[in-house]
Amino acid sequence: MKQQLRPLFDQVVIKELDPDRVRRSGLVLPPGDHEAPPQHGIVLAVGPGLDWWGGVGIKMPVAPGDHVVFPGSAGVWVDIEEERLLVCRVGQLLGVLEELEEPGERRGSDPFTESAGPTAGD
């Protein structure tokens, strides 16, 4: 029987992405005894939040599928269905990674078909 972990309260379940120790500059970060670099993962499941959150209109700030960053010391690691998952409180997350639009790039528009405004002859 296949199992899935359903988080309670303000807990989230995260699948860690492979840590990237090579920076854009080519610098390779060695593993060490010092604090681990922030980890990256994908949110698999989100709890309903705390009881009082609904009364004041607070929603969980993450949703399944979000790419999040968390400290190496966050939460508890569990093995479910031979998969290593992190269960932590939403407050332990450092943030959500979002894709930014490149300058000059507009989604859903083609710069060659749009009018650039009135011309000198107008």
Domain boundaries, the chain: 11-20+35-97
Q: Rounded distance, CA 67 to CA 55, Å?
A: 28
Q: Which of 23, 14, 72 is nearest to 43 (CA)?
A: 14
pLDDT, residue 1, reads 83
pLDDT, residue 103, reads 77
DSSP 43: E
| Architecture per CATH, 11-20+35-97 | Roll (2.30)
With contact defined as beta carbons under 8 Å apart, do 91 and 10 qualify?
yes
pLDDT tens digits for the chain (122 residues)? Answer: 888 899 999 999 999 887 655 555 555 556 654 456 678 999 999 999 888 877 787 889 999 999 999 998 999 999 998 899 999 999 999 999 988 887 776 655 555 555 555 555 55
Locus of tokens 């405004």: 117
pLDDT, residue 55, reads 78
Residue 19 token pair:
């840590």
Whether the predicted model's global pTM rises above the 0.75 cut: no
End-to-end C-alpha distance for the chain, whole angstroms: 71
pLDDT, residue 7, reads 95
* CB-count exposure of residue 86 (10 Å: 0-12, 13-18, 19+): buried
